[in-house]
Amino acid sequence: MNLIKILNLSKSYYSINEETKAINNITFDIDNNFTGIIGPSGCGKSSILNIISNQDKDYEGKIIKKENLKIGYMLQEDALFPWLNIYENSILGLKISKSLNDDNIKYVVHLLKKYGLYEFKDKYPNELSGGMKQRVALIRTLAIKPDILLLDEPFSALDYQTRLKVCDDVYKIIKEENKAVVIVTHDVSEAISFCDKVIVLTKRPASIKNIYNINYINKNTPTQNRKTIEFQKYFDLIWSDIEK
Amino acid sequence: MTYKKYISKIKKNKIIIHLSQIAIFILFITIWQILANKNYINTFITSSPKNILITILNLYRQNNLLFHIWITIKEVLISFIITSFLSIFIATILYNYKILYKILDPYITLFNSLPKVALGPIIIIWIGANIKSIITISVLISIIVSIQTIYNGFENTDPLKIKLLKTFNANKKDILFNCVIPSNKSVILSTLKINISMCLIGVITGEFLTSKAGIGYLILYGSQVFNLNLVMSGIILLMIISYVMYNIILYISKR
Ligand SMILES: Nc1ncnc2c1ncn2[C@@H]1O[C@H](COP(=O)(O)OP(=O)(O)O)[C@@H](O)[C@H]1O
Ligand SMILES: [Mg+2]
């Protein structure tokens, strides 16, 4: 069952002097699993997420969503508010979307406890490490109980070591909470280790170069997947595709 | 250098600075008084610390000094409150309706470059020779810069934070109260600090144009009857008032 169907999607940005075509006739399905979108920087990946999440309503083509599909969107940077403490940051989405009730607050507290942030609930973002801040941002998104999460280069602000660890963390949390994911990245290995399906885009204007289904015999966390033979195989395959 | 030494050095520095500040004040007053006593300067036009003190005491005993101080402070506080509320309100409207800002921009610039005191006579004719005119002049003098500073702060709000709120379907009001205003808290507080000084300038300007009481009135009256003791006393009182009010705002804004 598809959660979202994207049909013949195109998008242009306009300025007084020129038209910038960012997306060129893209069609693909998003299923109830992990979808990765990779492509060179500036090719139109964020534009696709903005459209799927309804931030941007100015496009051509069709987006068909499963009825009552709730979408959570996690931006490229954690964007925590420095004047709010960790707890207040976590419930910000609930507050804004006017769904701050006892049940939802309980769920946030549960998430904070489960993912090791509850003891930091009265601290402020500048007192936390990069990885912890990313987890808070994820909980803030999970708090509204979305069916699907859109992640826009969620780890790009982190150094390599932290990145691998946080990637595993986020993977486990999302699996545990049983959500579908669309993750955008320009890191091929990240996409292969994280996703069930990888969509490779051309450079701007983005069109689809190829779609790969990723299968591991023993599917595990991203860092474990990286050590398998299949990973190497997919990596070579996609890499040669990009090089073409 | 040990930590102890470092701390004691900082303390020592602080003491030196404070002592020097007091020394400069005492030196200034003493030299002024000595020059006056020895008739090196003409106290008729320069006054002297002793004369100023006597004048202030006389004002207090015979001329209702506290009343004059109160009038000036009242005018400053009223125009400060009006300026601060109005400028936050107007900046908010302009921020939410950018098209309005773009339309009004040249007029705001034009009005900003106009010396507001030139409007004094018109305001007095329209509103009357009373405290309302003084407050109006004071508000006009301080409000434009206040609006522009707050508006610019609003405009520089981190777009990422606004985008984040939009991912939760925030409306304009949500964005304003949850992001734009809190992230501009320090801009607003520093504007308030500037406003208190600007309003004092505005009030004294207004009192020079039309007044029956207040420190500006005392200074103006003193100059008309060529009583420089009174003029100097007025200026000293103004310094004290402005220093005290600024520090009150500073204290409030730090909490
Ligand atoms: N708001 C905008 N106005 C004009 N051009 C834009 C805007 N947003 C993105 N673009 C342009 O569209 C292209 C795709 O941008 P984006 O989707 O952010 O790429 P990616 O996320 O893949 O790096 C880029 O060339 C960018 O300059
Ligand atoms: Mg992007």
Hey, what are A184's tokens? 């955008």
The per-residue pLDDT for A2 is 86
Q: Point out the ligand nearest to the CA of residue A152.
A: 2
In the predicted model, is pLDDT for residue A216 greater than 80? yes
Nearest CA to ligand 1 atom 1: A13
Long-range CB pairs of B173-179, under 8 A, 24+ apart, other chains included:
B174/A96, B176/B92, B176/B95, B176/B96, B178/A81, B178/A92, B178/A95, B178/A96, B179/A81
Share of chain B above pLDDT 70, in %: 100
Mean pLDDT across the stretch A34-55?
A: 92
Q: What are phi and psi of A211, to 5 degrees?
A: -125, 130
Q: Give the separation between CA B32 and CA B125, rounded to whole angstroms.
A: 43
In the predicted model, is pLDDT for residue B187 greater than 80? yes
Q: Which amino acid belongs to residue B35?
A: L
What's chain A's average pLDDT?
Answer: 91
Show residues of chain A in contact with B183, CB under 8 Å.
81, 83
A81 → closest Cβ in B161, B166, B174:
B161
Share of chain B above pLDDT 90, in %: 88
Q: How far apart are the first and last CA of chain B?
A: 35
Is the CB–ligand 1 distance for residue A22 below 6 Å?
yes
The ipTM of this complex is: 0.86
| Domain with B189 in it | 47-254
Indicate the pLDDT class of residue A110, thresholds 50, 70 and 90: very high
Q: Are B99 and B25 contained in the same domain?
A: no
Q: Are B112 and B17 contained in the same domain?
A: no
Hey, what are B95's tokens? 């921020």
Indicate the pLDDT class of residue B192, thresholds 50, 70 and 90: very high
What are the tens digits of pLDDT across the range A174-185?
Answer: 888 889 999 999
Min CA distance, A183 vs chain B (Å)?
Answer: 16
Q: Are B36 and B87 contained in the same domain?
A: no
* This model's pTM is above 0.90: no
Helix or strand run (H / E) with residue A48: helix A45-52
**3-class SS at A60?**
strand
In the predicted model, is pLDDT for residue A50 greater than 90? yes
Total structural domains in chain B? 2
The per-residue pLDDT for A220 is 86
C-alpha A44 to ligand 1 mean position (Å) = 6
Mean pLDDT across the stretch A97-108?
A: 93
Q: Which residues are near ligand 2, the ion (C-beta closer than 5 Å)?
A: A 46
Q: Are B34 and B72 contained in the same domain?
A: no
Q: Give the separation between CA B234 and CA A238, rounded to whole angstroms.
A: 82
The per-residue pLDDT for B211 is 86
Q: Give the separation between CA A112 and CA A52, rounded to whole angstroms.
A: 28
Indicate the pLDDT class of residue B100, thresholds 50, 70 and 90: very high
More confident residue, A62 or A114: A62
Q: Are B81 and B52 contained in the same domain?
A: yes
Mean pLDDT across the stretch A37-46?
A: 91
Show residues of chain B in contact with A83, CB under 8 Å.
182-183, 185
What are the tens digits of pLDDT across the range B23-82?
Answer: 999 999 999 999 999 999 998 888 999 999 999 999 999 888 999 999 999 999 999 999
Indicate the pLDDT class of residue B209, thresholds 50, 70 and 90: very high
Is the CB–ligand 1 distance for residue A47 below 6 Å?
yes
Q: Are B102 and B184 contained in the same domain?
A: yes
In the predicted model, is pLDDT for residue A163 greater than 90? no
Hey, what are A232's tokens? 């190497």
CATH of the domain at B219: 1.10.3720.10
Min CA distance, A79 vs chain B (Å)?
Answer: 6
Is the CB–ligand 1 distance for residue A55 below 6 Å?
no
Q: Are B134 and B242 contained in the same domain?
A: yes
Indicate the pLDDT class of residue A135, thresholds 50, 70 and 90: confident
Q: Are B162 and B99 contained in the same domain?
A: yes
Q: Are B198 and B233 contained in the same domain?
A: yes
Place of tokens 């009135």: B217
- Sheet with A208-213: list strands edge to edge: A71-74, A148-152, A180-185, A34-38, A197-201, A208-213
Q: Give the separation between CA A200 and CA A211, rounded to whole angstroms.
A: 6
The per-residue pLDDT for B57 is 93
B174 → closest Cβ in A83, A96, A144:
A96
Hey, what are A239's tokens? 């890499």
In the predicted model, is pLDDT for residue B185 greater than 90? yes
User: Residue A149 forms beta bridges with which residues?
Assistant: A72, A181
Q: Are B169 and B79 contained in the same domain?
A: yes
Q: Which range has the worst mean pLDDT, A162-166, B137-141, B214-218, B229-233? A: A162-166
In the predicted model, is pLDDT for residue B1 greater than 90? no
Q: Are B150 and B34 contained in the same domain?
A: no
**Angle of CA points A24, B170, A105, to nearest 5°:** 115
Q: How many CB atoms lie within 10 A of CB B167?
A: 25
**Angle of CA points A142, A145, A146, to nearest 5°:** 85
Q: What is the 3-state secondary structure (H, E, C) of chain B?
A: CCHHHHHHHHHHHHHHHHHHHHHHHHHHHHHHHHHHHCCCCCHHHHCCHHHHHHHHHHHHHHCCHHHHHHHHHHHHHHHHHHHHHHHHHHHHHHHHCHHHHHHHHHHHHHHHHCCHHHHHHHHHHHHCCCHHHHHHHHHHHHHHHHHHHHHHHHHCCCHHHHHHHHHCCCCHHHHHHHHHHHHCHHHHHHHHHHHHHHHHHHHHHHHHHCCCCCHHHHHHHHHHCCCHHHHHHHHHHHHHHHHHHHHHHHHHHHC
Asked whether the beta carbons of residue A75 and residue B185 sit closer than 8 angstroms, the reply is no
The per-residue pLDDT for A244 is 73
Q: Are B130 and B58 contained in the same domain?
A: yes
Q: Give the separation between CA B193 and CA B246, rounded to whole angstroms.
A: 7
In the predicted model, is pLDDT for residue B138 greater than 80? yes
What are the tens digits of pLDDT across the range A140-161?
Answer: 999 999 999 999 988 887 788 8
The per-residue pLDDT for B254 is 83
Q: Give the separation between CA B184 and CA B188, rounded to whole angstroms.
A: 6
A65 closest CA partner among A124, A144, A131, A147? A147
Indicate the pLDDT class of residue B18, thresholds 50, 70 and 90: very high
